A and B are shown apart, each in its own frame.
Chain A
Amino acid sequence: DAGVTQSPTHLIKTRGQQVTLRCSPKSGHDTVSWYQQALGQGPQFIFQYYEEEERQRGNFPDRFSGHQFPNYSSELNVNALLLGDSALYLCASSRPGNEQFFGPGTRLTVL
């Protein structure tokens, strides 16, 4: 049983560009949450998707958007990248209200 997978593993972008990160949830999970982990910090909740709808959002600007597909996989999009967006982006999947399982993350570097 594959766990949560994320792609790509690493990504380098320049300021102002746009980026898309992808996540495939663990088998049987229908809820996907995204977190941003800056260097030396704990993960910060970005948003959560269930039934293809964003149902909860953290304190992140509208430059951060997402999508969930019918197969429960998800994308995180960040527009107009800033240097401060450099971080490890973690995806977690779960069934509603149950334990979240995390993927290995995508390391984004903005130059």
Chain B
Amino acid sequence: GDSVTQMEGPVTLSEEAFLTINCTYTATGYPSLFWYVQYPGEGLQLLLKATKADDKGSNKGFEATYRKETTSFHLEKGSVQVSDSAVYFCALVFSGGYNKLIFGAGTRLAVHP
């Protein structure tokens, strides 16, 4: 079935370091791809999305490119801040009516000053 696999955490970085969180997916069709962020004690917030191959989603300095050939959607940020500490979830959804999100297990990021 359709699924999302993320790199295991926690990922621990110093402030201003470069961030990569890997995400790959298995899907029978061509889904839209998302990154959600969850801050402590809160629900999920959409960080960025891409709806077709080679699209790049970006927001708040984060970027991810939809790579159909490698079925990947890796999250990157050039310089992380302490405030980026959170859990990041990669997810996919198929368009056309029912939009059930399928999530990865999440990757916890801890950024230290």
Contacts and interface: CB of A to CB of B under 8 A. Distances in A.
Given A102-B43, A102-B45, A105-B43, A97 B96 contact: yes
Interface in A26-54: 33, 35, 40-45, 48
Given A41-B105, A42-B105, A97 B97 contact: yes
A58 B97 CA distance: 16
Nearest to A94: B99
Counting chain B CB atoms within 10 Å of each CB, the highest count among A100, A104, A105 belongs to: A100
Interface of B, secondary structure class, is loop
B59 interface: no
What is the size category of the interface that chain A forms with chain B? Answer: 20 to 34
A99 B95 CA distance: 10
Contact of A56 (B43, B49, B91, B98): B98
A43 B97 contact: no
A100 to B, nearest CB: 6
A8 interface: no
Contact of B43 (A40, A44, A90, A96): A90
Nearest to B108: A40
A97 B105 contact: no
